[in-house]
Amino acid sequence: MRVCVPVCAKSFADLREACARASEVADVVELRLDCVQGDWTTWATQLEPLIRDQSRLLILTFRPSEQGGHRVLSRPEREAFWNGDWRSNSKAFFDIEADLVIDGCDWSRVIVSHHDFNGVPEDLELIYQRLAATPAHAVKIAVQANEITDCIRIFRLLDRARNHGRNLIAIAMGDAGVATRILGPARGSFLTYGSLEAESATAPGQVNARQLRSVYHIDDINDATMICGLMGLPVMHSVSPHLHNAAFAAESVNGVYLPLEVRNVESFIKRMVHPQTRELDWNLRGLSVTAPHKSSVMDLLDWIEPEAQEIGAVNTIVVEREKLRGYNTDVQGLIEPLRKRVGSLNGLSVAVIGAGGAACAAVWALKKEQAKVALFARTRPKVEALASKYDLTFEPVQDASFRDYDVVINTTPVGSAELVGRTLAVAEQLAGARLVYDLIYNPIETEFLKQARAAGCETLGGLEMLVAQARLQFERWTGKTPSSTLMYDAGLAVLRP
């Protein structure tokens, strides 16, 4: 298994330091020489010792800006660089763009590459065929995935290359293509790319190299690996992969959990998920479903448990034989940590802030527990339908007092990482409430919870709910019950400041 870490630095001194750090986690280090500033014609005396001193296999890249590089380079400049005297003493691989032909090139060290940052070209297969016909040691094709279904063509190319014994690096760039970066090597990709740091990614959707190994356990993925994932938009911020992949490792299950950015849910389910129609041969076992697909996915399933049907939302899909089965673990995930804190909910007065999907699940669960529920929201029209459905009272949250409530639950995204520092209720409003519960898990302590602490209330964060619902999902997919503590610690390690 080869994980290649690209390093991009403005000077050779910085490049050398970055190479040292990359070598700690990489099998291969790519030197993005187009990042280095200055006159490249004077580089030989610095480039040769840098290459000679590296302990890892190297790939050298000198990419022009129109193909994703950091320099404006003419064709004659690129040809002159690759024909430099330094090349004859180098044992590195050379990543050379497909439009460039180098006289006297040692093809055994060439990776011939094609990049498309706009999308997947119609003639992708012809491009591969043309590159594969060269004597190059390996072919590299990297295209932008605008939809997750763009990954299908990349995986097909890998299957084709593996069947013909051709070295191929095939990647769908962007968040929608992350599956090709994680699963690619197990499907025959010559290597995959991982960034040295999150902020140093050299291409869209590049996953941190350490996480490829510590979170996704990329070296252990094979054709038999059970695949699960989180479908939604967006998903790359989620800590769910950390929870589930830690559970796979602890339970000795050959499985991996992926972030799957899905825009068109119908196309994704049909072409990549449903066993009767999917175009991809992969061992997909189950999916977590998050916004905005919890309701829209329901029409695409073969069976839905009655509770999820009644709530109107599915957050868990199990692939069982030739069918897709839908469940909702959010309800139990929400109630379980709450019950641990306050005991029975029967007769307790609970204020629910919000009117979206999470509020619907919360109200349904609380009513089932025979709690006395009241709704609070920012806007009237949205909350009216939920209040009418469950015969509840509702009030504007702006002027509300929660003094007489046993529990106050925030089901809105206000205060999350995208809206950090904001809150729908302040200490004066929350004073007197027994417990304040925020379903947001990132950040660990939201402004809502800070205000609750200032008011002297007990607090409960969303990570406990995330863990509870994730544990139930894992049980559905594997039949095993992972440790809640292990999953919580895996999430906390990511979220802790």
User: Using CA atoms, how far apart are residues 350 and 372, in angstroms rounded to an integer?
Assistant: 6
Q: How many CB atoms lie within 10 A of CB 153?
A: 20
Active-site residue, from 10, 91, 140, 294: 294
d(CA 348, CA 10): 62
> Which residue, among 454, 368, 442, 457, has the nearest Cα to 409 in the 3D structure?
457
CB 400 within 8 A of CB 376: yes
Measure CA 43 to chain center. Answer: 38
d(CA 16, CA 54): 9
Instruction: Respond yes or no: is residue 450 known to be catalytic.
Output: no
Distances (CA, A) of 71 to 61, 116, 217: 12, 17, 35
Q: Token match 């279904």: residue?
A: 149
Strands across the sheet containing 57-61: 168-173, 138-144, 110-116, 93-97, 57-61, 28-32, 3-7, 192-195, 207-208
What is the rounded distance in angstroms from the CA atom of residue 28 to the CA atom of residue 5? 6
Tokens encoding 127: 């491009």
Measured from the Cβ of residue 431, the count of other Cβ atoms closer than 10 Å reads 16
CB-facing half-sphere around the CA of 219: CA atoms within 13 A: 12
Instruction: Return the active site residues.
Output: 294
